[in-house]
Structure 1
C-alpha cells in the first residue's frame, strides 16, 4: 500500500472514532431500533479504500466476496446482486430459462410458498406469470411445515419457494426431500437467516438455489446488495446471464475471449462469428453489485461469527426475561435448529386484556422500535387481491399474525442495558393491564 493511501486510511479510522456516538444509553430517550447495521472503523476504511482505487464497477472485491461467501454457505457458486429482492427475482427467473428444456417453469405453473412473509419472496412468482400457492404457518416458529407443503402439491406444481422466518428455519431438510420426490425445484430464501443451522446443516444449503440480502437490517450489510448461490453449475450460468443483461458471454468486466472462441460462435440466426460479448441468450436485467458494496461486504464478512453470536445472545436474553409473562405468545426455535435470529417475535393473544396496537404504542412512545411481521397475510394486501393464486387449507394463523403480531430487535448493536429496558417496559405494560 502506498504511504499516502495508508495515511488517508489511518485518518479515516481516526475520523470514525471521532464521530462515534459515545453518549450513554438513556432509557426513554435513546432510540432502540428493531434492526440496523453494525459498522466499525474497518468498514468505513474499506469503503474509502475502494473509492480511492476508483473501483466503481464489479471487480476484484466482488469476485473475492463471491468466492469466500460461497465457501461459508457450502455452495459452488455465488453471484452478487444489487439487492436481496433482485436475488429472489434472479433465482426464480432462472428456473424459466429455455436452456432447462422440459424442466423449465412456464406461465401458469404453480409455486408453493407461504402467505405470511415478505413480498419479494412471492413477487418473482407473479412477475414470471406463475401462480403462487399459499399455505399457512405455525405460531411460535412462524414457519410452515413439510406437511402443509405436501398437501399443497398438485398436478401443476413445479417449484417451492419459501423464506426462513426472522432467522428461524423452516423444515428445510424435509421440504428439500419433498421437492426431490416430486421432481420440483426448491428455492430457499435465506435472506433473514445467514448463520442459522437446521439439523446441524447451514441454511442456504438445502435448495437448488438460495438467496441472501445485504440490506442494513440483515446479518451482513453492503448498504444494498444480495446474492444468489447454487451448487448446480447450469443454474449458476443462467443466473449470471440473467444478472448481466442476458448475455451469453461469461467474461469478467475488462476481460476478453475467456472462452478462446469469441469470434467463432453461431447462435440463433446471427451470422457466424458474431462477437460473443454481444450475443444474448436470455431476456435479462442489469442487477450487478459494485466493488464499493463488495468491499464493505468483505469487511463485514470477517465479523460474521461475532454478529451471529450476538444475535443469539440477545434473543436468549429477551426470551428468558419475558418467559412466563401472561397474554403474550413467545417465539420458539424450530425443533432441531440453532437460529441466527433476525428479530424477536411477539404475538398478543386474542383474548388478552390489551391489543397489539396498545402494546406497540407503549413501546414506541418509549423509543423502542417495533415492526410488523412484514406483510402479514399477503392475500389480504391490496397488491395481491386480484392476482391469480391458490390457497391450500385455511390461513388462520396468517390472519392472526396480521392482527396480533410484531417483532423487536436483537441485532448486535443492542446492549444488555437496552434489552433489559425493553424487558422491563413490556413487563410494566402487561402488569398494569393484568
Structure 2
C-alpha cells in the first residue's frame, strides 16, 4: 500500500502535468492582432501556484494557517516593515486600516465620529467608504492632472481642527508626493494611510510605497500586481497598531493566539478585563468591535508562489509601460500621456491617457474604437466619487466636504481612461494598442 507522502507527491506531479496540458498552452498562445483580446489585466502563473494550492487543500486546513504565516513573513521582509497581516481583500485591508485608527487604545489620537479625513474623489470607493461607514467626514481635494495624484498645494486649505488623518491611494502605481504629504501629516499630527493596492513594488525616493505612512494596504485581486484570487494585506511598523489591527481583523478579540492554539500568554484564566468576572476566558474577551477578515490558507499558498515571482512582475510592468509610451510619442497635442511623479520609480498598474481639450473626439469615441478592436479599457475608477448615486444619500458640508473646486477631477471623469501593462502582456499586444491609438487619432485629426 502507498503511504500518504508518496500519494501526495503523485498528486502534485499530476497537478504539474495538468498545468502543462491545460494552462500553459493558453498562456503561450501567439498574439494575433485583431483576433486576440488585449486584456487590461490578468493573472500570471505557472505550475508552482497550482502545486501550492493543491498541497494546501490536501492538508485541509481551511482557514489561516502555515502558508498564511509564511506569506506574511515574506511580504514583510520584501517591504522592509515589521509586520504584515493577510486579509480577505484590498477593500477589507482599507476597512481594517481605517477602523484601527478609531481604537480607544490610541487615546487622544483616535478618530471619532465627525472627525475629518483628507482624501481625493478621483479614485476607488473603498479608499473612502470606511470613513463614511464609521461616521467620519471625508474631505475631498483635487488632483494634479499630470499624475492624477493628490494636489499637495491644497492640503493646508483642507485641514481643520477636526482633521485626524490623510488616506489616499497611489494612482495606477504612480506614487503621490510622499515627502510633502508625510511632512504635512507630521506637522499637523495626522495619521497617514497609504492605499498601496495599485502600487505594490513602486518606490519613492528609493523607498517602497506603503511603508512611508502609519499603515499601508495591498490588494491581491487578479488584476493587481500579484494575486491569490481574493485577498489583501495591511502592514505597519507600529507595535500598538499591530495589536489593534490583529484584534479588529479577528472579531475584535483581545487574545492573540493563532488559530488552533490556546493559552499563548499563559494567563488564559487569571486576568481581569473590564467588569467581566475575574479569570474570564481570555479567548472570549473582546477589546474592539471587530470583523472576521481573515484569508484562507489555500489563498495564501497561491500568494506565496506569486511573491517569489513578484520582482519579475514589476520589471515587466515597467517595460510594457515604457514601450507603450515610446510608441505614442508625438501624440501629446491630442492626448496627455502619463508622467511619473518626481523622485519616483513606479510599478505601473496601468497607462493613463487623457484627451486634451478642444479635440475633435471624446474619451468615449476613442474608448469605443479600442474596445471594437478587442482592446480592453478602463475609466479611472469612480472619476469623481461625489457624483455617484451613493453620495445622493449624503449631505455636502455635513457628511462630506469638498475643498475648493474639483476641476481636474471633473476633467479625469470626462476625458481619461487607461490601458493595461500587466506582466502577461506581450510586446506584440503593446505595439497593437499603440497602432490602434495612432490609427484612431490619425483618422480624426
One fold, TM greater than 0.5?
Answer: yes
Alignment correspondent of 2:178: 172
**Partners of 2:141 and 2:151 within 8 A in 1:** no
- Equivalent residue for 2:418? 407
Q: Which has the higher mean CA deviation after the structures are superposed, 248-257 or 23-32?
A: 23-32
Deviation at 1:77, TM superposition (A): 1.0
Q: Which residue of 2 aligns with 1:136?
A: 142
Structure 1 partner of 2:382:
375
1:361 to 353, 358, 368: 368
Of residues 11, 14, 18, the one that matches 2:21 is: 18
Give the alignment partner of residue 107 of structure 2, picking from 86, 101, 126. Answer: 101
Check whether the contact 2:175–2:341 (CA below 8 A) recurs between aligned residues: yes
Deviation per residue, 1:4-61 (Å, 9 max, x gap):
2122111111111111314321111211110111111111111111111112110111
| 1:352 and 2:363 correspond | no
5+ residue gaps, structure 2 = none
SS of equivalent residue, structure 2 residue 128: helix
1:332 to 327, 339, 346: 339
- The residue that corresponds to 1:305 in the other structure is 311
Give the TM-score of the pair, scaled to structure 1. Answer: 0.98
Q: For residue 352 of structure 1, report the CA deviation from its aligned partner.
A: 0.7
CA distance in 1, matches of 2:197, 2:179: 18
Aligned to 2:443: 432
CA distance in 2, matches of 1:117, 1:96: 23
Correspondence 1:197 to 2:208: no
CA offsets 1:224-261 (integer angstroms, 9 cap, x no match): 00011000011111111111011100000111111110
Please give the alpha-carbon distance, in whole angstroms, between the structure 1 residues aligned to 2:325 and 2:136.
40
Give the Cα separation in 2 of the matches to 1:317 and 1:188: 28
Matched, 1:394 2:405: yes
CA distance in 2, matches of 1:401, 1:30: 29
Distance across 2 between alignment mates of 1:324 and 1:265: 70
Match of 1:271 in 2: 277
For 2:29 and 2:171, locate their aligned partners in 1 and report how far apart those are by CA, in whole Å: 34
Q: 1:118 aligns with which of 104, 121, 124?
A: 124
SS in 1 for 2:192: strand
The secondary structure found in structure 2 opposite 1:372 is coil
* Alignment correspondent of 1:64: 70
Query: Does the Cα contact within 8 Å between 2:116 and 2:163 map onto a contact in 1?
Result: yes
Residue 155 of structure 1: how far off its partner (Å):
1.3
Matched residue, 2:230 = 224
Long gaps (5+) in structure 1: none
SS of the aligned residue for 2:43 comes to coil
Alpha-carbon deviation of 1:344? 0.3
**CA contact under 8 A between 2:193 and 2:216: conserved in structure 1?**
yes
The structure 1 segments of at least 4 consecutive aligned residues displaced by more than 6 Å after TM superposition are: none
Q: Deviations over 1:171-227 (max 9, x none)?
A: 112211211111111111111101100011110111111100000011110100001
Partner of 2:220: 214
Normalised by the length of structure 2, the TM-score is 0.96
Measured in 2, the distance between the counterparts of 1:145 and 1:208 equals 21
Deviation (angstroms), 1:406 = 0.5
Separation in 2, partners of 1:25, 1:103 = 54
Deviation larger for 241-250 or 141-150: 141-150
> For 2:295 and 2:164, how far apart are their aligned partners in 1?
30
The 5-angstrom pairing of residues 38-77 of structure 1 reads 38-77=44-83
Q: Which moved more, 1:249-258 or 1:96-105?
A: 96-105
Q: How does 1:230-245 map to 2 (within 5 A)?
A: 230-245=236-251
Deviation per residue, 1:44-101 (Å, 9 max, x gap): 1111111111121101111111111111112111110000000000000011111111
Provide the residue aligned with 1:147 in structure 2.
Answer: 153
Provide the rounded CA distance (Å) in 1 between the counterparts of 2:146 and 2:21. 43
